[in-house]
Chain A
């Protein structure tokens, strides 16, 4: 995806920062040895240098903003809400870089200019203060804060608007559990888990709550986070999906127990055709395993908690179409080309999970279910093949190319 590009920029800006530091260190050791009389002349030269440095540093800070993975980084936003948030960050980073640079330069100047030299044992003039200067460094920060405060307040109110009545908005009720995410589409009457499927170029309204402890719903590349509170205390937020398809990483951002680190989810942005297919497929009746023994084991040992289609219980992650998802349990990434510990084919991942769920996510609610080898393999095979086949041709092509890019 964009990763390669952003890494290039990253490398570039690292270089830029490096240069700046070099320049700064030269400025530090700069040859200002005219003594007191030469200070003025020297100062002018310095000021010019500092001005250049300031611009460079601010530029570096802004360049940094293009860093990071496009599916994960808050600095590489892919949706309007995250972009607004990054804009605010850029304003504040620029102002703050200015402040830091001014402080550093004064500090460096003072430390070199006024260090006690051997034999210099005089007592400096004891200055009580300077009202003009003190007013300057009270008023200038106030002005800077107004520059930052106005857009802050505007954005706060803009991002707090209630879009749940918008005609085209997709409403999703998010319920956080230790350590998985439940997504309910109230307008469609469907429930899924771990993978939020949403159409391109639309507004998604999130109504978030928790079933147990506090969690926080965060998709860095699309929007900032919102806490999930218990007991009917529903928090609302919204985000806009990009105008192209893609998969984004979501995370839990509030300490929620041992497996807090592993409470990931995916946001899959699909084209309108695929989205319509997906909705339809989710509503279709469930298909049970063909082998009656496996079907029986699946119904007795899995559907007591989980659901597929209209069958089973609603308390634990809905498994409808699990074979189509990007991940198993939010962290075991399904890929035919595994590189890391948490990657494997969808069959392998389901198998691994069923073998010992506590090994994958310590402390989660699913115990190690007693399954025979045949049942283990049969259920894994069945679930791996439980696909909704909703992706349009276009989406499949996009997926293939982006997957290839990622692997390069």
Chain B
């Protein structure tokens, strides 16, 4: 069969983005959509802090406040940080393992579009019927139709269900990509830490998200079809929801933080010009954290009446996670030790990450002591703790990653001065907002309260916290300005713009060509590109002769499949089952087309590759 004989339409402009199956473009879509939802979630956070800046404030109503906290949590976790993680994984992991593509380009696009339309569905609730207001944990019976009869929680259930499909597909895609598509010589124990973290995270996604799927299905059946899973009057059990939610929910926090660990490992090694200290123990610690992540869900339920045996076991199991986490922290510190540290913007975020995350980690161990948790639980102490891990930890990590890989993704380096300004506003604002919340909690302030009475001694601390949140807001605005300023500049980034790149992605052009590697590279050791550079080679050694490269064809089907799910979600929310049926029919019809239309893709010929001079 002659190569390139299939006429495949290669789209341009907006159609290019709607039909793309290129992992780098999908990665950019993830970054854009995640960034957009991050701004929405951040705006919600600012509104929350404005409401709480003084006692008995009436800036928003109690109903609106509960919608704000629910949407802030849900948006940030599912629609902001997870997509940004997926964006970086998409842009970087295939490059780091020397692959031309991901294993399932079509599913990859489908994963993005389902996430995106799930997120849009969730946020449309603000304008059509009211947002969910039962907290991001959506505990029943508060989330049942008896106590929440508007469509809010239905948006939560269907929005998360649809975007969850995308996440699950993404997880499987990365697992297969990493297992099957590594370049010659790229053994598992030569994989960069970010790839390792992505691998373990994908495994956690695969094993945790189906539990959420079942939980959401059960809640949906209860709310829409009068099921009785969580209805105590018909024999249902509300504890089931708590268990199912946290069996998913606890691994979820490790799904979030492990990629940040990976990013920090990459950034710290690059800017200290040193090999990662204790690589194998880092890998081991990552896997162990992933494993233990499944053993500790009930520590979110210490006060729900599980009994002393369960509380004691889950206390100890939770404390154990500190050990592999400690290993990682000290390995980072000793990577820096003896290095040649350059304080770039990504490095500042990485350095800010380490102590901040340690502070979040130690409060985690404190929370693990069940009887003390009877005091901390559902107080501002917990709010402070998880923001230290997720914002001070994860978001700092993501900022580090985004600044670090920006030139590889977009071909332009972000402005360093603005990057550093972002960092200082963000980190100072962050500690100002959340350090004090530990004390608020211990002094008796419960979380999720829309206001507090005067004279309880909470006023000054809440004011400080609100000012801190504003500083973080300024930091984020600096970042947005940086993005716009940078995108007006010409694309001039070199292959290895930080000059000390160690891993494969820095061996190819910035941004990478659509086929990534003209010739698959031969991997001769850990830190493959660094090794070649140290031996005086400018490029990787090829593992194959130059030849035609097979590419998958673009397709609009993922977009329409997700539109179908979106329509069907609306149908269920408003009990219009014909609409729901039409939506599902669109999705199934697209699946049918995908199965029967033969897709041979197309080839990029060596002449075209050489013409591009890569």
Contacts and interface: CB of A to CB of B under 8 A. Distances in A.
Q: Do the two chains bind?
A: yes
A224 B377 contact: yes
Contacts of A156: 308, 311-312, 315, 370-371
A127 B134 CA distance: 51
Interface stretch (A46-54, A71-79, A184-192, A292-300): A71-79
Contacts of B308: 156-157, 160
A107 B333 contact: yes
A120 B273 CA distance: 12
Given A145-B322, A152-B370, A226-B305, A216 B378 contact: yes
Contacts of A110: 333, 336-337, 341
A212 B457 CA distance: 31
Given A99-B358, A122-B340, A261-B62, A230 B232 contact: yes
A155 B369 CA distance: 9
Given A103-B333, A212-B141, A145 B62 contact: no
Interface pairs A-B: 4 shortest CB-CB: A224-B374, A231-B232, A261-B449, A96-B362
B599 to A, nearest CB: 46
A134 B148 CA distance: 52
A255 B66 contact: yes
B604 to A, nearest CB: 37
18 contacts: A89-B366, A89-B369, A92-B369, A110-B333, A111-B351, A123-B534, A126-B274, A152-B370, A153-B315, A157-B312, A159-B374, A213-B139, A216-B377, A224-B375, A229-B239, A230-B238, A260-B66, A340-B455
Contacts of B442: 67-68, 73-75
Given A84-B371, A103-B333, A339 B455 contact: yes
A202 interface: no
Contacts of A96: 362-363, 365-366
Nearest to B230: A230
Nearest to A127: B277
Interface centre among A120, A122, A155 (most CB of B within 10 A): A155
Nearest to B337: A110
How many interface residues does chain B have, given as a range? 35 or more
A69 B574 CA distance: 49
Contacts of A130: 277-278, 334
Nearest to A122: B340
Given A73-B442, A129-B280, A231-B233, A116 B341 contact: yes
A34 interface: no
Given A95-B365, A159-B374, 10 more contacts: A89-B375, A100-B359, A107-B333, A111-B336, A130-B278, A138-B326, A145-B323, A148-B369, A156-B308, A249-B456
A264 B368 CA distance: 27
Contacts of A225: 303, 374-375, 377-378
Interface in B367-402: 368-375, 377-379
Given A114-B340, A115-B343, A224-B377, A213 B142 contact: yes
B480 interface: no
A383 interface: no
Interface string A139-183: 001100100110011011101100000000000000000100000
B275 interface: yes
Contacts of B277: 127-130
A331 interface: yes
Contacts of B280: 129
Nearest to B351: A111
B63 A362 contact: yes
Interface centre among A69, A85, A137, A252 (most CB of B within 10 A): A137
A354 interface: no
A124 interface: yes
Interface string A240-283: 00000000010111111111111010000000000000000000
Interface of A: 64, 67-69, 72-75, 82, 84-86, 88-89, 92-93, 95-96, 99-100, 103-104, 106-107, 110-111, 114-116, 120, 122-130, 133-134, 137-138, 141-142, 145, 148-149, 152-153, 155-157, 159-160, 178, 212-214, 216, 218, 220-221, 223-227, 229-231, 233, 235-236, 249, 251-262, 264, 331, 339-342, 362-363
Contacts, number: 294
A168 to B, nearest CB: 23
Interface of B: 55-56, 61-63, 66, 134-135, 139, 141-142, 147, 232-233, 237-239, 272-275, 277-281, 303-305, 307-308, 311-312, 315-316, 319-320, 322-323, 326-327, 329-331, 333-334, 336-343, 351, 354-355, 358-359, 362-363, 365-366, 368-375, 377-379, 439, 442-444, 446-457, 534
Nearest to B142: A213
Contacts of A214: 139, 141-142, 238
B327 A134 contact: yes
Contact of A74 (B278, B333, B375, B455): B375
A120 B340 contact: yes
A126 B277 CA distance: 9
B365 A92 contact: yes
A82 B316 contact: no
A220 B232 CA distance: 30
A100 to B, nearest CB: 6
A72 B239 contact: no
Contact of B326 (A137, A253, A254): A137
Contacts of A264: 453
A261 B307 CA distance: 28
B457 A69 contact: yes
A152 B372 CA distance: 8
B66 A258 contact: yes
Contacts of B135: 255
Contacts of B444: 68-69, 72-74, 220-221, 249, 251
A217 B377 CA distance: 11
Given A68-B444, A261-B62, A254 B372 contact: no
B605 to A, nearest CB: 40
B455 A72 contact: no
B136 to A, nearest CB: 10
A148 B239 contact: no
Given A103-B329, A214-B238, A89 B372 contact: yes
B232 to A, nearest CB: 3
Given A253-B378, A256-B142, A226 B272 contact: no
B263 to A, nearest CB: 18
B341 A134 contact: no
A336 to B, nearest CB: 16
Interface centre among A67, A72, A226, A227 (most CB of B within 10 A): A227
Contacts of A260: 66, 446, 448-450
Nearest to B354: A107
A254 B305 contact: no
B455 A220 contact: no
